[in-house]
Every structure is written in C-alpha cells, then in structure tokens.
Structure 1
Amino acid sequence: MGHLTRNQIGILMICLGTGLITLNDMMFKALSGDYALYQIVFARSLGGLMFSLIILQIEGGWRLLRTATPWQHAARAMMVVVANMSFFLAIAAMPLGLVSALFFVAPLLITILSIPVLGEQVGIHRWAAVGVGFAGVAVMFVPELLGQGLGVPGWSYALPLVAALSYAGNQVMTRKLGVTSRASALAIYIQVMFLVVSIASCGVLGQGQYAQGITNESLVFLLRAWVWPAPGDIWVFLALGLNVAAIAYCLSQAYRMAEAGVVAPFEYVALPLAVFWGWSVFGEIPGPFTWAGMVLIAGAGLYIVWRERKSRKRD
C-alpha cells in the first residue's frame, strides 16, 4: 500500500470494516433462531477480546490499558453495548435491510446531539437534511399504517432507532472526550463490558424461565435459555470473535489514517450489503416503502457529511 495516500488507505479500511459489520449482522441473524442473544454476544466478545489482546501486545503491551478516565470509558462502552443489543434484537424479528436503514438515522442524531453537548452551530441546510432523513423513517412506517406491515409490535421498529441513538451518543462522547487511547485498548474496554453484561444476564436469564409462552421473536431471542452450541455452529461463533476484532481494527485505522469527512460517506456501503445478505441468505426483499425510506435516510446522511466537510474547509 506504499503508493496509496492516507485517505485512500482509510477508504479501503472503512469499506472492509463496513463489509465485515454486515457479515457480523448476518451471522447474528442466522444464529438468533437457536441461541440466546447474550450467549452469542458472550462467545463473540470472548473471541474478540483474545484477538484484541494479541493486537495490544503488538502495539505496545499492557501499559496501553492505563487510563485516567475509567468511568468515562465505561460509560462509552455501555453505549456501544446498548446500541449492539438493540440492533441485534431488531434483526431477530425484522428484515436486515430495513433494520440497517433505520439504524442509519445515527448521523442525523449526531447532528442534533452535537448542539447541546458540543456547542456546535447547525445551519438551515443540515436541519433540512435532518428533516428529510426523519421523513424517510416515517415512510417506512406506511405499510404498518396500511395494515400491510411485518406483523411485529410497534416497539420492534423502535429498537434500531434506540441503537442509532446509543451509537450517536457514543460518537459524540468520543468527540467530547478526545480519546487518545490506542485502538486495541479501546476495543478491549468494549469487549470487557460486553462480557460483564453477558455474564450478568446469564445469571438472571440463562435458564430460559422467562421465555415461556412468549412468541415475539425479539423477546424470545433475549430470554431463551443458554445451550451448548451444535458442532457446526462452533465455527460460526469463532468466526464472530475474529470478525469483531477485525471490525474494531479496520474502523479505528480508517479514522486514524484518513480525514473523517472523507471516510464517513463510505459507511453507507453497509446498506446495499445488508440488503444483499438479507436477500441471499434469508430471502428478504425490501418493499417500495423500505427502498424509498432508505434513499431518503442515506441521502440526508450523506448530505450532512458533505456539509460538515465543507464547513471545516472554510474554517
């Protein structure tokens, strides 16, 4: 990669990381019919922690884990946990493309949160883009209003929006704190938080006693009893662990190597990839209202990224 610029390397890394995220989501959805959410998260995070520890040793060793702001790191990691859990609960009951599209309101929420938290000024152009993006969300609810929806409770649609809000809070918090820790250390903090939450949930929910009589797929995924994985699924659990470590590395490298305004638009590669996995693996084909909402949300998000980059250049 010696002949590539830093921005070009960043674009390659964000595309690779985004592709791995959609692969991670597909594997989660594939396992959601047989295993509990927190069991999958535990296995994935244990594997991810092992691979991240190896990267930590390469980058500088145990000293990189020292931090003067442990509680702030814990709060940031908890936001990632909430974002992940909400998203995975959603894909257990809803098409992957639809959930991914709803999640991509996150850049719109980051714009809104940046006003009270970071004191940023948001002009009429970005406010208009936020309005267009939320119009895209509303469009996706039209089938439900017409009685042609998925047959899932209304709160299921809120799950990817909760995930987006938690993700946006995490991003804004990262900007405010100006985190300087190495990527491997940041990944380890998050994986440790996932393990703590998973182990605690096993003690409360691990026997499946609260899943009796429940038919909603998201709730069953959350409350199902933990079981030993089938031999063929063990490889999927291992792949998830390797994949999550690779995702953390690729995304951190992308934003370390390149300007954020350059690489951020390429995160939207996730939308067509999510639709592809949903169609090829699960036979999910988005309806016209989902496509329309997708276009509005992605267009609004890309416009906001472009406006932010333009305003930074003027500064």
Structure 2
Amino acid sequence: MSSANSPAQVPDRTLAAAGLVVVYATIIGYTDNYVRVVAAEGGLWQFHATRSVMAWGILLALMVPLGLRLRPRNLRAVVARSAIHGAAMLIYFGALAFLPVAQVAAGLFTAPIFVLLISRFVYGHGIGPVRVLAVAVGFVGVVLVLGPEAMAGASLAAALPVLAGALYALGNIATREWCGGETAETLLGGFFLALGILGAVGMALLHLFPLPVPDGADGFVQRGAVAVSGSFYFWTFVQAAGSLLGVGMMIKAYQLADASRVSVFEYIILPASAFWSWVIWGEVLTPLAVFGMVLITAAGVMIALRSRSAR
C-alpha cells in the first residue's frame, strides 16, 4: 500500500513528535486511571462500543466548525490500519482475562522492538546503534516498572500479548508508510470505528455465550452488556474526549517522524500513568520502578539528542 506522501518525501520532525507523544501520554495516563471506575460496573466490550459512539459524536460535532476531514483518501489503507490496531487491542484486552496485568502490558510494550525489525527488514530503513540501544534500555525500564511478575509464567498463552505488540507496531508503521496522506482525524475515526465494531461483537458473543462474571472490576473482560449508572457514562465520555485528543496527537507524531523513533517515546506512558496514579489514588512506586522510569526517560533523551545532533 502506498500513500499520497511517501515517508521519503517528508522530513523527520522528531522533536515535535516527541512533544506530541508527551502530551498524549499525559492525557491518556490521566484518563486510563479512571478505567477502574468504569470497570467496577460495566464491561470492556460495552465500554469500547459506548466510547466509540461518543468519540464519533464528538468528531461529527466538530467536523464543520473545525473543518475536519473524515473521508479517507485511501480507504483500503485506512481500513487495514484500523483493523490491525483493533486486532492488537482485542488480543491485548482478551489476554487480561487469564494473564497478569503486568505480563500483558510488558508484551504490548515489545512494540518498539517490532517497529525496529519491521522498519529495517520490511521497509529497509536504517536504524543505527543509538536507536537499538534506546529501545533496549526503554524495554528494560518497562520491565522494572511492571515488576518481576511481568516476565513470569512463560507459556504459549503468554505469547498473545507479544502478538498484540507486533500488530500494534505494524499499525504504527502503517500510520506513515500507508496513510501518510491522511489527516489525523481520518485515522482517529477509523481507529474508533474498529474498536466500536469489536465492542459490539464482544457484547453479542457474551449475550449468546455468557461467562461467569466476578463482581466489580475483576469481571471487566467477561461482562457483557449490563445496565449502568451515570458514572459509567460520565467517565466513558471523559475517556472518549481524552482519547480523541491524546490518540490524535500520537497519530500525528507517527506522521511527523520515523516510527522507530516515535515508538521509543511511547514508553513514557508508564511514568505518566504512574504519576497520575500517585496524584489520584495515592499509589507509591517501589525504588526499582523509579529506576525503571529513569531508564525510560534516558531512552527518550537518547533519541531526542541523536535527532538534534543529526539535524
């Protein structure tokens, strides 16, 4: 697949992309901390379907006043990218049903490694030793933040989050390689449409084949469509609005710079989430996790300084 603007014709703006990812991580880190409130009474699939309807409502309401372009220039490329990212999220959240959260998160954060491999061996991009080292340092930091349980219990099932990471990486590469001529709002719309469809399918399957559902947040993945309170809708709307802004900035970042650079900056989502967990819930990190965050920050600084010196 090709786009109207090939990556070779568009110069990298790595520092601008880094700034956008920092804003993205700050917003998503905040909104994701309230998923536990949504999970206490609703289900994952109902959450995805509801959030997608809300997100599309916001996009349509802003289309005329902000002059948003939602129609794809290359429909096949946008559909493919949306399907790949949707599948990554489906596998990721599905794995939460039977694997520890830390292990699943660590699997998803293998994405920058796959970005390097795909960029080099599929698209022939030069990656250089600094980028390789930054990805390695960042991933070690991720493992330290998530704790020893992130690497425990190696099994075939544990490979599912890694598959999610590979698909997420491919979707991020597709943002520039396949969809360079698309607007960020077009890709946003496709992303939320894919998640909305998956949410509706999940609710339908759980209606036909219901599963035992634990009380509260423990039943988030197994819970189908249920009657929910205003609190569910309020925090889901906050998620929809925050995700539109945050994910939109992340998409723009991948359009501005090579995916193998931007993917390293995405590691910052963990320190951002931990910061908001401390502010909102009073959760304190272990010294090992703090050291992991230092490594994550160092990985981002390595990429930023390398980009600046290259310019």
Instruction: Indicate the residue corresponding to 1:223 in structure 2.
Output: 222
Of the candidates 115, 119, 127, which is equivalent to residue 124 of structure 2? 119
Instruction: Indicate the residue corresponding to 1:107 in structure 2.
Output: 112
Q: CA deviation at 1:40?
A: 0.8
Structure 1: stretches of 5+ with no match in the other structure: 1-5
1:19 aligned onto 2:26: yes
Q: CA deviation at 1:41?
A: 0.9
1:65 aligned onto 2:64: no
What does 1:1-315 align with in structure 2 at a 5 Å threshold? 14-58=21-65, 60=67, 64-67=70-73, 69-85=74-90, 103-136=108-141, 143-144=148-149, 161-206=162-207, 209-211=210-212, 220-252=219-251, 267=266, 269-304=268-303, 306-307=305-306, 309=307, 313=311
**Residues 51 and 239 in structure 2, CA contact (< 8 A), matched pair in contact too:** yes
Q: CA deviation at 1:101?
A: 7.1
Structure 2: stretches of 5+ with no match in the other structure: 1-12
Inter-partner Cα distance in structure 2 for 1:196 and 1:42: 7
Inter-partner Cα distance in structure 2 for 1:253 and 1:125: 23
Inter-partner Cα distance in structure 2 for 1:102 and 1:295: 20
Partner SS state of residue 168, structure 1 = helix
Inter-partner Cα distance in structure 2 for 1:294 and 1:162: 24
Inter-partner Cα distance in structure 1 for 2:129 and 2:284: 36
Number of residue-to-residue matches in the alignment: 297
Q: How has the CA–CA distance of structure 1 residues 130 and 248 changed in structure 2, closer, same or farther, with 3 Å as cutoff?
A: closer
Inter-partner Cα distance in structure 1 for 2:301 and 2:162: 18
Q: CA deviation at 1:193?
A: 1.2
Residues 54-77 of structure 1 show CA distances to partners (whole Å, capped at 9, x for unaligned) of 333345477x5143x423322211
AA aligned opposite 2:71: L
Larger mean Cα displacement after TM superposition, 246-255 or 76-85: 246-255
Partner SS state of residue 274, structure 1 = helix
Larger mean Cα displacement after TM superposition, 198-207 or 132-141: 132-141
Residues 119-143 of structure 1 show CA distances to partners (whole Å, capped at 9, x for unaligned) of 1123334334444444445656873
**Residues 105 and 164 in structure 1, CA contact (< 8 A), matched pair in contact too:** yes
Give the structure-2-normalised TM-score: 0.73
Inter-partner Cα distance in structure 1 for 2:84 and 2:180: 15
Q: CA deviation at 1:268?
A: 5.3
Q: Percent identity?
A: 25
Give the structure-1-normalised TM-score: 0.72
Q: How has the CA–CA distance of structure 1 residues 283 and 162 changed in structure 2, closer, same or farther, with 3 Å as cutoff?
A: farther
Inter-partner Cα distance in structure 2 for 1:169 and 1:311: 28
Inter-partner Cα distance in structure 2 for 1:302 and 1:163: 26
**Residues 43 and 223 in structure 2, CA contact (< 8 A), matched pair in contact too:** yes
AA aligned opposite 2:277: G
Q: How has the CA–CA distance of structure 1 residues 240 and 143 changed in structure 2, closer, same or farther, with 3 Å as cutoff?
A: closer
